A and B are shown apart, each in its own frame.
Chain A
């Protein structure tokens, strides 16, 4: 994923709207991807995952899309709620790297009531 240093990109959406958070990953050998949500002062919380043999996976109010051609991952949140406000990280796993995860720089989602 992209590293953005000290300035997290921020996505601001209105409550009830849909949110789309994007992530570009770097390793074409990555075979497993996870989205995490991190609230201030807390550890990352698992949201949804997807394997490289899929291009879409749906959960409750969330959908992850994977485009391996351009190495792009997105997280769609339907009917965004104030409780969705957090920093969202994508993570990629490269199978021959011992199952370790490489995290993207994160995107801050702010939901306006």
Chain B
């Protein structure tokens, strides 16, 4: 149980384009979803927290207009990286939290911006 999927798993795009990443909780309802980014050999850095039907709460230093988060249902959250640049290249990971306190993570999406 507690499976989270992400799509796509890997994406390469040109600088200036927008990329949407989907995060789905497959067998539980995630009232809260979290988005993280992870650079090589580093820990996970929280970008934002989203509750279903509410606006996301962004961490300090994360531009909300650049990283658009939508949590439209209890099983789906999307992260859109707008006008992506090479410095946005990273590993983006979502997690879902349901009734239990534990966060369950998706497999991650590797974004490469050329």
B-contacting residues of A (Cβ < 8 Å)?
1, 3, 5-8, 32, 34, 36, 41-46, 49, 89, 93, 98-106
Range for the number of chain B residues in contact with chain A? 20 to 34
Cβ-closest 7 pairs across A and B: A43-B105, A43-B108, A44-B105, A103-B43, A43-B107, A103-B44, A43-B93
CB distance from B7 to the nearest CB of A (A): 13
Chain A contacts for B103, CB-based, 8 A: 34, 46, 101
Chain B contacts for A106, CB-based, 8 A: 42-43
Chain B contacts for A8, CB-based, 8 A: 41
A-contacting residues of B (Cβ < 8 Å)?
2, 4, 6, 32, 34, 40-44, 46, 49, 57, 93, 95, 97, 101-108, 110
Beta-carbon contact of B32 and A34 below 8 Å: no
Beta-carbon contact of B42 and A93 below 8 Å: no
User: Given that A100-B46, A103-B43 are known contacts, is A34 also in contact with B102, CB under 8 Å in the complex?
Assistant: yes
CB distance from B84 to the nearest CB of A (A): 20
Closest to A45 in B: B105
Beta-carbon contact of B57 and A98 below 8 Å: yes
Closest to B34 in A: A100
User: Given that A44-B93, A101-B46 are known contacts, is A7 also in contact with B105, CB under 8 Å in the complex?
Assistant: no
CB distance from A71 to the nearest CB of B (A): 18
Q: What are 8 residue pairs bridging A and B, where the CB atoms are less than 8 Å apart in the complex?
A: A1-B43, A32-B101, A42-B108, A43-B105, A49-B102, A89-B43, A98-B57, A100-B34
User: Given that A43-B108, A101-B103 are known contacts, is A6 also in contact with B43, CB under 8 Å in the complex?
Assistant: no
Chain B contacts for A3, CB-based, 8 A: 43
Beta-carbon contact of A43 and B106 below 8 Å: yes
User: Given that A41-B110, A99-B97 are known contacts, is A89 also in contact with B44, CB under 8 Å in the complex?
Assistant: yes
Chain A contacts for B4, CB-based, 8 A: 43
